[in-house]
Chain A
Amino acid sequence: MLKIRNLESGYDKLKVLKGISLHVKSGEIVTIIGANGAGKTTLLNTITSIVKTTGGKIDLKGVDVTTASPNLIVKSGCALVPEGRQLYPSMTVKENLILGAYTLYRRREHKLALENLENIYTMFPVLKERRSQLAGTLSGGEQQMVAIGRALMSDPDLLLMDEPSMGLAPLIVKDIFRTVKKLRDKGKTILIVEQNAKAVLEIADRGYVMETGSLILEGSSEDLLDNNDVKRAYLGRDYKDFTD
């Protein structure tokens, strides 16, 4: 589905990604875990062409999209659920969702957009209930549902998620990740960037660990959970637990 080789990017003179190679197979949930400032968001923004690539290659469904524009990436079947939801708080839930289908509207596929909207309502009944409510009035978990729903409006094959657990209570995080799993069961491929390693490794098939713009570990979720570096750095297990 997605194949990345030696990806480099950054902001002006600041090089953030220092040669990232990773792949996501069709039907997989893959996660990239890393601390603040590791370059996780930059990676997703580079894949979606929001940040310009300065080196390397991105291959989406067998097509080289390294220099494609963001809207072409969406058209190729890849959508982003951005960090911090990025909803329009003064617009209704429905309006927010419809924005996610802008590529469909441009192609005059209004009917398809409406179909997708109905599908999303079936999947998240709570959004149907609240469709006329202003997005800003929803709880954090519901807002995250809207953000996911909005990304699904273009009916992507590959869903990129940037820290979906951010700012949410543990129970809500569980809910969100259960939804992610459901999406995979419906045939979506998912790449999640997360700091909450424990929660995401429970649902992911594989993962990579990112540190200061480089990947330093790769493996099945099970192996990563067993890795002591991961335990120390991301699972909140203190050094003391190991030395005592």
Chain B
Amino acid sequence: MIYSKEYETMQREDLEQLQVERLQVTLNRVYRNVLFYKNLYDEKKIEISDIKSLKNLASLPLTSKDDLRGSYPYEAFAVPLRDIVRIHSTSGTTGTPIVVGYTKNDLKIWSCLVARVLSAAGITGNDLVQIAFNYSQSTGGLGFHYGAEQIGASVIPASGEEVLKQIQIMKDYRSSALVSTPGYALHIVSILEENGMDPQELNLSTGLFGSEPWSEKLRTKIESKLKIKAFDNYGLSEIIGPGVAFECDEHNGLHVNEDHFIVEVIDPETLEVLPAGMEGELVFTTITKEGFPLIRYRTGDISSIIEEPCECGRTTRRIKRVSGRTDDMIIVDGNNIFPSQIEAILFEIEGVEPHFQIILNREEGLDVIELKVEVSSNLFVFDEIRKVQSFQQKIQQQLITSLGLHAKISLIESKSLGRTRGEKIKRVLDLRKL
């Protein structure tokens, strides 16, 4: 079903007019209210009134995660803090998160955008939607929660309950839709199998999975094992959270909510805008957000734009399912982690050289992360087990407190990690089959 027919099936010409209007209004507002953008445009001698069409957007500078770090925590808000009614945050590259504020209207719009995502997957007011995203600082849980309430579905905020409890809820409450990461769905599959339970005992018919890239192969697996229809959706907290783009029944690319976000794809090296069909980095501009508007924000996600009209009747352009990252960010159970964050933590811990390797694997559908750290060889010479153990624990504790990351730590001898010819250790070894 199309939740917002008027906007989702708009004539392209009308949509473009709306986008231009909203873009100009947003630019006027960020120039007045956000010091970061005002300084940026003044410095580059950019007149925002020169942005007369969508094409002109390309003449504005891009915004990156690093740019926003300088505005921590509230500097990039476009409204006074008292107008903000919700604050979420994302992990930043070096530990400084990006704080995202929502006004009352932002939340209203967000709920309606997620309602579009759910409706496109066939969710109605009759569904019982179990949300197995952690209800925390990240946007997955509350984003879907409000969206599902918006369409009148019954929401089960299962959040971070452990998996057996989730399955019990699913069975007893007769949940008809599951919202989680695809990895978590896989985990549920393996726990069901392990406990000899039949997925048929469940009432599940639809799954909405996102916040990490997943393949068609994984979709087929989840669909056949859980006997559901699985839909991909795309969003990121900096932009709004879930509700940026979503799959319809056609399962052929994700419709972008273009009346609220302008999508571009750029070459991550030359920063040139690429034509539809060419793969590159996704860049979004928010055109209705009040609290935390972003102009040409680089997502680091790799995709391409599909311009051809979709069979479903929506006129919005689509993006291909995200195939990877332009940077070294890794996604572990839906959480974004940069190797540089781990490096910074190791730096802080005395005696540990920041030579390490992250090994990612998947066991029973869950991501397992192992950290191999090279330590000064004298630690092994003395062979003090206790000392080694305390080091391990120290690192482990730091990773949990700083990143919420539960990792297995292996200390190994200096220079024992395989190096490429450039004397560089391969930072991440991803053995997961996504």
Q: Which residue of B lies closest to A218 (CB)?
A: B25
| Contact between chains at A228 and B25 (CB < 8 Å) | no
Instruction: Scan B106-150; emit 1 where CB is below 8 A from any A CB, else 0.
Output: 001100000000000000000000000000000000000000000
From 1 to 49 in chain A, residues with beta carbon under 8 angstroms from any chain B beta carbon are 3, 5-6, 18-19, 21-23
| Contact between chains at A5 and B17 (CB < 8 Å) | yes
| Contact between chains at B105 and A6 (CB < 8 Å) | no
Q: Which residue of A lies closest to B13 (CB)?
A: A3
For residue B18, CB closer than 8 A to chain A, the reply is: yes
Q: How large is the interface on B (under 10, 10 to 19, 20 to 34, 35 or more residues)?
A: 20 to 34
| Contact between chains at B25 and A5 (CB < 8 Å) | no
For residue A69, CB closer than 8 A to chain B, the reply is: no
Bound form: Cα–Cα A218–B23 in Å: 10
| Contact between chains at A226 and B22 (CB < 8 Å) | no
From 201 to 244 in chain A, residues with beta carbon under 8 angstroms from any chain B beta carbon are 208, 211, 214-219, 223, 226-229, 242-243
Our pick among A18, A23, A217, A229 for the contact of B17 (Cβ within 8 Å) is A23
Q: How large is the interface on A (under 10, 10 to 19, 20 to 34, 35 or more residues)?
A: 20 to 34
In the complex, how many residue pairs between chain A and chain B have their CB atoms under 8 Å apart? 58
For residue B103, CB closer than 8 A to chain A, the reply is: yes
Instruction: Scan B79-98; emit 1 where CB is below 8 A from any A CB, else 0.
Output: 11011000000000000000
| Contact between chains at B29 and A217 (CB < 8 Å) | yes
Residues of B within 8 A of A19 (CB): 24, 49, 52
Bound form: Cα–Cα A216–B21 in Å: 10
Bound form: Cα–Cα A18–B290 in Å: 22
| Contact between chains at A22 and B21 (CB < 8 Å) | yes
Q: Assuming the A-B contacts A223-B105, A226-B105, A228-B103, are A218 and B52 also in contact, with contact meaning beta carbons closer than 8 angstroms in the complex?
A: no
Question: Which secondary structure dominates chain B's binding surface?
Answer: helix
| Contact between chains at B25 and A217 (CB < 8 Å) | yes
Which of A21, A22, A23, A211 has the most B CB atoms < 10 Å from its CB?
A21
| Contact between chains at B25 and A216 (CB < 8 Å) | yes
| Contact between chains at B21 and A218 (CB < 8 Å) | yes
Our pick among A21, A211, A223, A243 for the contact of B24 (Cβ within 8 Å) is A21
Bound form: Cα–Cα A37–B34 in Å: 24
| Contact between chains at A223 and B52 (CB < 8 Å) | no
| Contact between chains at A216 and B32 (CB < 8 Å) | yes
Instruction: Scan B24-37; emit 1 where CB is below 8 A from any A CB, else 0.
Output: 11001100100000
Bound form: Cα–Cα A215–B29 in Å: 9
Residues of B within 8 A of A223 (CB): 105, 108-109
Which of A3, A214, A215, A243 has the most B CB atoms < 10 Å from its CB?
A214
Identify the 8 closest CB pairs spanning chains A and B, nearest first: A19-B49, A228-B83, A6-B52, A21-B21, A214-B28, A216-B28, A218-B25, A223-B105
* 24 A–B pairs (Cβ distance < 8 Å), ordered by A: A5-B52, A6-B52, A21-B17, A21-B20, A21-B24, A208-B25, A214-B28, A215-B21, A215-B28, A216-B25, A216-B28, A216-B29, A217-B25, A217-B29, A218-B21, A218-B25, A219-B105, A223-B109, A226-B108, A227-B103, A227-B105, A228-B79, A228-B82, A243-B82
